[in-house]
Amino acid sequence: MRAFHLILALAALLLATPSARADDDFSTALRALNADSYADKIAAAEALAALGEGRAAPILDALADGRLYVTPDGAILIEQAGTYLEPLSQKIVTTDKAEAITVNNRLRGVARGAAGRLALFSPNAQARGAAVEAIMNSPSDEAADMVRAALAKESDATIKALMVTALASLDLSSDNAGHRLAAVTQLADSSDPSVRSQIQRLLETETDLQVRKVAEKTLGSIEFRVTLMGFVANLFQGLSLGSVLLLAAIGLAVTFGVMGVINMAHGEMIMLGAYTTFAVQQGFRAFLPADLIDLYLVAALPAAFLVTALVGMGLERGIIRFLYGRPLETMLATWGISLVLQQVVRQIFGASNMEVANPSWMTGGWDLAGGFTLTYNRVVIILFCLAVLGGLAALLRWSSFGLHMRAVTQNRPMASAMGIPTGRVDAMTFGLGSGIAGIAGVALSQIGNVSPNLGQGYIVDSFMVVVFGGVGSLWGTLVGAVSLGVVNKFLEPYAGAMLGKILVLVFIILFIQKRPRGLFALKGRSVES
């Protein structure tokens, strides 16, 4: 009976030309959305969708996004980037009295599902694709028939494939054993974890022997792919954690690794970089046109480098250079500096977190197979981190400053005798390490908090990476960071975040017992005993 109604509605949808009568019904259904209770709003959204008109889809979408407004006289408007659109006449309306129609999650789900079903017949291929996904997320009895009807008309090959899969997963709960058999056969190529659990549920109740056999085989092959994708996802997450660790540690690899300064204020350099990012973002918001805001991150890089490099050089000239050769005093002094810097930032910006928005090109991700999503911000950070490391390696290898720096590290008196201004090289090296920490702060502001405590979270990890990788070796830092990241992420699903971290620490302690100089120890005369 339901299916019959639906086909009627579909026929009406395909044949109807908007008539005055339909307009009346539509506008009544539309106005009903402005109800008091959520239950009434849900009924209204369903009634609007049941009219089966394609023009209801953008309205339901707007409702789900909270962009549907109502004027005091009950007219419903769609808000788009600050202007109001009258959905019936498609005219722009200016008003300042419109209020948003409130939605809760249940209404949002109903509206999205309904909009999805309507958009199945949209002329826009992308909208049809999204519609199929929306239907898969909120399956219903009517949905299978609708997808079948839409499939018959579909011309785009990728969306056709998507629909076939969707239909198969809907057909899994069909009463017809033939349909179920076709569905499980069809789904053999899927690697979606939700399809896996659907088949598992099917197996719990399935009585038809043939369907069972095929379903078990399908389940086996899906499970294999999901496990494989899980492994790839773990690897990516490990790489991504490794890249974050590496970014935090590169600067330290310069100040601690190359100069031998135990710089407890390293984390605060990262924090200053993040706050510079915030300041640049605020500057962009205040003074530049809104469409340039996505570029603020690029502008923040040199700004953060400059600010932190200057602070770093100031610290080196003002305090740290008097403490060379006295590691304990250096450690205490830089720890004090870190507290001072934190409190200064707390006084200027306040103790609360600052909001640093992700630019649109760093929000979201690619949905790959098997429930694995490659998030943009992580990919950008991995690439960025490699670029920073490459740039630093090139600077050390090919520039004259790099040459001086290596000379001073390897043999200070000899370098001085050759006329290298060791004091200036020290200051510049410390500035370079701090500056790199600053640009790490720009990247880290994209995935975490921007608060005065930001740096504390990274200082222990940074030292861990540098010590593990081998003091003074950039490549050691790279290998150390990535291997710690990957090991951590492979342990986490089994041991939990807490125990995973403890296990990694224990592992490093044991490792350092065996190889006190880390993975890649510097060799030669320059290394003091």
Partner 1 sequence: MKFNRILGAGLFTAASILPMLAHAAEDTIKIGVLHSLSGTMAISETTLKDTVLMMVDDINKKGGLLGKKVEAVVVDPASNWPLFAEKARELLEKEKVAAVFGCWTSVSRKSVLPVFEQLNGMLFYPVQYEGEESSRNVFYTGAAPNQQAIPAVDYLMSKDGGEVKRWVLAGTDYVYPRTTNKILEAYLKSKGVKPEDIMINYTPFGHSDWQTIVADIKKFGSAGKKTAVVSTINGDANVPFYKELANLGVKADQIPVVAFSVGEEELAGIDTKNLIGHLAAWNYFQSVKSPENDAFIKQWQSFIKNPKRVTNDPMEATYIGFKMWTQAVQQAGTTNVDAVRQALYGQKVKNLTGGVAVMNTNHHLSKPVFIGEIQGNGQFQTVWKTKDVIKADAWSPFIPESAKLTADWTYPWVCGNCTEPKFK
The smaller minimum CB distance to partner 1, of residues 245 and 261, is found at 245
Q: Which residue among 54, 283, 302, 448 contacts partner 1 (CB under 8 A)?
A: 448
* Residue 208 amino acid letter: D
DSSP 496-519: HHHHHHHHHHHHHHHHHHH-TT-S
Give the interface size with partner 1 as a residue count (CB under 8 A): 62
- Answer yes or no whether residue 193 interacts with partner 1 by CB under 8 A: yes
The smaller minimum CB distance to partner 1, of residues 267 and 476, is found at 267
- Answer yes or no whether residue 301 interacts with partner 1 by CB under 8 A: no
- Answer yes or no whether residue 194 interacts with partner 1 by CB under 8 A: yes
Cα separations in angstroms, 515 against 256, 370, 488, 508: 18, 40, 20, 10
Biggest CA pair distance of the chain? 97
Cβ at position 489, least distance to partner 1 in Å: 6
334 contacts 324 by C-beta, under 8 angstroms: no
Cβ at position 466, least distance to partner 1 in Å: 19
Q: Which residue among 282, 373, 411, 416 contacts partner 1 (CB under 8 A)?
A: 373
Cβ at position 314, least distance to partner 1 in Å: 23
Rounded Cα distance, 135 and 146, in Å: 10
Residue 490 structure tokens: 């492979």
Q: Which residue among 452, 455, 472, 480 contacts partner 1 (CB under 8 A)?
A: 452
Rounded Cα distance, 315 and 424, in Å: 13
Q: Fill in the per-residue mask, 321 to 350: x = in contact with partner 1 (CB under 8 A), - = not in contact.
A: ---------------------xx--x---x
The smaller minimum CB distance to partner 1, of residues 292 and 460, is found at 460
Q: Which residue among 221, 282, 422, 453 contacts partner 1 (CB under 8 A)?
A: 453
The smaller minimum CB distance to partner 1, of residues 292 and 414, is found at 292
- Answer yes or no whether residue 102 interacts with partner 1 by CB under 8 A: yes
Cβ at position 500, least distance to partner 1 in Å: 9
The smaller minimum CB distance to partner 1, of residues 64 and 118, is found at 64
- Answer yes or no whether residue 364 interacts with partner 1 by CB under 8 A: yes
DSSP 248-291: HHHHHIIIIIIT----TTHHHHHHHHHHHHHHHHHHHHHHS-GG
- Answer yes or no whether residue 267 interacts with partner 1 by CB under 8 A: no
Closest by Cα among 292, 251, 290, 312 to 444: 251
Q: Fill in the per-residue mask, 480 to 519: x = in contact with partner 1 (CB under 8 A), - = not in contact.
A: --------xx--xx--xxx--x------------------
Q: 81-105 b/e with 16+ CB inside 10 Å = b?
A: eeebbebeeeeeeeeeebeebebee
- Answer yes or no whether residue 354 interacts with partner 1 by CB under 8 A: yes
Q: Which residue among 11, 14, 40, 66 contacts partner 1 (CB under 8 A)?
A: 66
C-alpha atoms less than 13 angstroms from C-alpha of 109 in its C-beta half-sphere:
9
Cα separations in angstroms, 265 against 251, 338, 389, 402: 11, 4, 21, 24
Give SS3 for 155: coil
Q: Which residue among 241, 250, 269, 465 contacts partner 1 (CB under 8 A)?
A: 241
Residue 23 structure tokens: 């307009």
Cα separations in angstroms, 437 against 28, 42, 253, 298, 442: 61, 52, 10, 16, 9
- Residue 400: which H helix or E strand, with range? helix 400-410
Residue ranges that bind partner 1, judged by CB under 8 A: 38, 64, 66, 102, 104-106, 108-109, 112, 137, 192-194, 197-198, 201, 233-234, 237, 240-241, 244, 342-343, 346, 350-355, 357-358, 363-365, 367, 371-373, 375-378, 447-453, 456-457, 488-489, 492-493, 496-498, 501
